[in-house]
């Protein structure tokens, strides 16, 4: 489960020392607090959304209509919006991120790799709302007039790529998310690749393989589950991102039919309407939150298992 070396355990003390016991108990409470927070969030979301689940049952999960006028709420448009944006993000970020991870772990000079990794990790530090601001005023108009127009001209006959593009929509949100999850994929991917034993590489080099062949035929297959884990961790982050998505996704409650359609992710729907709604609508929004929590928990658990499987030995 853990990717870390087990720290040195303190030797058991013979005589019970009051100070030690109090200190251990105090720190234990802090540990319990963290676990309780997670459980508490789940409980609060479940309790607060209970009336909505009672009203709609699984219909809240499987309903395709979100209609406040008639008080009917189904999560499908937002689940689709969430998955679609996250999927686009992964389709863009996974290849770029993994190639970057390979470059940094296998090809780059160490003196170059460290500052490059550092720079890419800085990308993760840019606040979501700043990316959203940049998205509204720079990225959305840029995509609308260039990439989107190009894709629509070339592939517009396929319904999935049908225009028009207004700049604000699922695809722009996906691109912003790709930018946000790149650092996750790169830095975890790089660590996973570096944890591959040197013997794997040497055997291939011994056979006269090129560096590219070593990276793609020896290192990558060996680290496969960890690499997948890195991508899934990125996906997990993409699912829950709120502000940047809210600001560029176009905020429409319908199921998107094209990548250029407007949509709404679960997180953006909550951000825009939770403070605006009462009664069943508000409770259904919390129900959306519970669905999102379940999605992220599952993905995170899966990803961490996969990363741990590759990087079992001590790192660093």
Q: What residues between 248 and 277 interact with other proteins by CB under 8 A?
A: 250-254, 262, 264, 267, 270-277
- CA gap 186, 96 in Å, rounded: 9
Q: Shortest distance, CB of residue 107 to other proteins, whole angstroms?
A: 5
Element (DSSP H or E) covering residue 72: strand 72-73
Length reported for the chain: 316
Q: Shortest distance, CB of residue 201 to other proteins, whole angstroms?
A: 13
User: Which of these, 177, 304, 312, lies nearest to 229 by C-alpha position?
Assistant: 304
Q: For residues 283-302, which are near other proteins according to CB under 8 A?
A: 286, 289, 292-293, 296-297, 299-301
Q: Shortest distance, CB of residue 149 to other proteins, whole angstroms?
A: 13
79, 80, 151, 186: which one binds other proteins (CB under 8 A): 186
57, 64, 137, 146: which one binds other proteins (CB under 8 A): 137
Element (DSSP H or E) covering residue 222: helix 220-222
User: Which of these, 193, 214, 191, 213, lies nearest to 202 by C-alpha position?
Assistant: 214
Residue closer to other proteins (CB basis): 46 or 87: 46
Q: For residues 19-78, which are near other proteins according to CB under 8 A?
A: 19-20, 22-24, 26-41, 43-45, 48, 65-70
Q: Which stretch binds other proteins (CB under 8 A): 56-64, 135-143, 151-159, 222-230?
A: 135-143
* Torsion of the alpha carbons at 234, 238, 239 and 241, rounded to the nearest 10: 130
Q: Which stretch binds other proteins (CB under 8 A): 83-91, 146-154, 201-209, 219-227?
A: 201-209
Q: For residues 142-171, which are near other proteins according to CB under 8 A?
A: 164, 166-168
- What angle (nearest 5°) sits at the alpha carbon of residue 18, between those of residues 17 and 21? 85
Half-sphere exposure for 298 (CA within 13 Å, toward CB): 7
Q: Which two tokens stand for residue 288?
A: 């959306």
- CA gap 268, 82 in Å, rounded: 9
Report how many helices (DSSP H) and strands (DSSP E) the chain contains, helices first: 15, 2
62, 114, 146, 257: which one binds other proteins (CB under 8 A): 114
**Residue 17 binds other proteins (CB under 8 A):** yes
Residue closer to other proteins (CB basis): 164 or 197: 164
Q: Shortest distance, CB of residue 222 to other proteins, whole angstroms?
A: 14
User: Which of these, 101, 256, 288, lies nearest to 171 by C-alpha position?
Assistant: 256
**Residue 179 binds other proteins (CB under 8 A):** yes
Q: Which stretch binds other proteins (CB under 8 A): 110-118, 149-157, 194-202, 219-227?
A: 110-118
- CA gap 316, 41 in Å, rounded: 34
Half-sphere exposure for 182 (CA within 13 Å, toward CB): 24
**Residue 4 binds other proteins (CB under 8 A):** yes
**Residue 211 binds other proteins (CB under 8 A):** yes
Question: Exposed, middle or buried, 153 (CB in 10 Å: 0-12/13-18/19+)?
Answer: exposed
How many residues bind to other proteins according to rule CB under 8 A?
133
Q: For residues 77-106, which are near other proteins according to CB under 8 A?
A: 95-97, 99-100, 102-104
141, 200, 224, 302: which one binds other proteins (CB under 8 A): 141
**Residue 282 binds other proteins (CB under 8 A):** yes
- CA gap 259, 249 in Å, rounded: 11
88, 120, 143, 181: which one binds other proteins (CB under 8 A): 120
**Residue 2 binds other proteins (CB under 8 A):** yes
């Amino acid at each position: 489960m853990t990717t870390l070396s087990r720290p040195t355990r303190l030797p058991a003390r013979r005589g019970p020392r009051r100070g030690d016991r109090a200190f251990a108990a105090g720190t234990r409470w802090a540990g319990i607090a963290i676990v309780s927070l997670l459980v508490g969030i789940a409980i609060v979301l479940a309790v607060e959304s209970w009336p909505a689940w009672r009203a709609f049952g699984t219909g809240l999960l499987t309903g395709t209509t979100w209609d406040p006028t008639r008080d009917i709420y189904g999560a499908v448009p937002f689940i689709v919006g969430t998955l679609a944006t996250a999927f686009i993000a992964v389709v863009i970020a996974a290849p770029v991120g993994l190639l970057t991870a390979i470059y940094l772990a296998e090809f780059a000079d160490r003196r170059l790799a460290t500052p490059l990794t550092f720079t890419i990790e800085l990308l993760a530090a840019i606040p979501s709302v700043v990316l959203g601001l940049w998205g509204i005023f720079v990225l959305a108009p840029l995509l609308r007039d260039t990439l989107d127009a190009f894709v629509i001209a070339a592939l517009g006959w396929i319904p999935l790529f049908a225009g028009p593009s207004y700049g604000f929509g699922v695809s722009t949100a996906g691109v912003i998310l790709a930018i946000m999850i790149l650092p996750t994929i790169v830095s975890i991917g790089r660590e996973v690749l570096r944890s591959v034993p040197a013997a794997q590489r040497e055997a291939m080099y011994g056979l006269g393989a090129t560096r590219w062949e070593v990276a793609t035929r020896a290192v990558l297959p060996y680290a496969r589950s960890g690499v997948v884990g890195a991508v899934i961790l990125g996906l997990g982050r993409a699912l829950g991102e709120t502000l940047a998505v809210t600001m560029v996704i176009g905020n429409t409650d319908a199921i998107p039919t094209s990548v250029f359609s407007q949509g709404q992710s679960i997180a953006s729907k909550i951000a825009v309407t939770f403070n605006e709604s009462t009664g069943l609508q508000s409770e259904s929004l919390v129900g959306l939150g519970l669905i999102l929590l379940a999605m992220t928990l599952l993905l995170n658990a899966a990803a961490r298992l996969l990363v741990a499987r590759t990087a079992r030995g001590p790192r660093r």
